[in-house]
Amino acid sequence: MRMNKKGDLSLSINAIVILILAITMLGLGLAFMRNIFNQAGEQITAVSASVDKQMIDQMKAGSKTIDINQPRVQIKKGTSSQVVLGFKNVGDSDLKFQIVSVMASELGASTTTSCGNVTGSGQLQIQYLQTATTVSSGGDVRTVPFNLKATANAPAPFTCFYEIAVCQFNSTACTATDKKNTIELSVDVVA
């Protein structure tokens, strides 16, 4: 009878040791995953900062007052992407730039597919800053992101064409007499 009790005791000790090892391995695995995600986040931030700097340098060297870093983007369904709009003020007073409309048309999509708008509808969803961006006088440049997200159930391939209308004004709001420029963006959704 003593052997049975001793056997039960060693089984309990083995179970405790296995449990401690499992918790330790879980902790190490979680720490490893956290480090990987932190590094990926830092790389994304670095790439975003690099794109912003490149866009600012491009705008300062060029003559355009409104530009986009990529006029054509390819995106896989279920993923997201970002383009950068740049605004340049060459005038003597501060100016405001605001995206006032985004017109979408599509090619190669089914009748139920929509290129989407800021309400989150459609197979290709867009998101952008809807308030005005103030750009200081004397050649200052500001950038704003234009986010794109293709849903996982988006039919592929199809292409969305966007005409992004940007109003340039120095009053409190964009009026019918203020200058409006259009930027074109093509987005190819692939499988």
Q: List residues bridging with 133 in a β-sheet.
A: 97
- Joined together, the tokens standing for residue 176 give 């019918």
The pLDDT of residue 56: 80
Q: What is the mean pLDDT of the chain?
A: 80
Lowest mean pLDDT among 71-80, 90-99, 149-158: 149-158
Please report which confidence band the pLDDT of residue 166 belongs to, taking 50, 70 and 90 as the band edges. very high
User: Does 47 have pLDDT greater than 70?
Assistant: no
Averaged pLDDT, 42-70: 74
* Parallel, antiparallel or unpaired: strands 179-190 and 158-169: antiparallel
56 or 1: which leads in pLDDT: 56
What is the C-alpha separation between 176 and 164, in angstroms, rounded?
A: 16
pTM: 0.66
Task: For 107-129, write each residue's pLDDT tens digit.
Answer: 765 544 567 665 566 778 888 88
Averaged pLDDT, 169-185: 87
The pLDDT of residue 129: 84
Q: List residues bridging with 187 in a β-sheet.
A: 73, 160
The pLDDT of residue 111: 47
68 or 44: which leads in pLDDT: 68
Please report which confidence band the pLDDT of residue 147 belongs to, taking 50, 70 and 90 as the band edges. confident
Averaged pLDDT, 142-146: 88
Q: Please, are residues 102 and 118 in contact by the beta-carbon 8 Å criterion?
A: yes
The pLDDT of residue 43: 54
User: Does 143 have pLDDT greater than 60?
Assistant: yes
Count of positions (residues) in the chain: 191
Averaged pLDDT, 148-159: 81
Domain 64-190 has CATH 2.60.40.10: yes
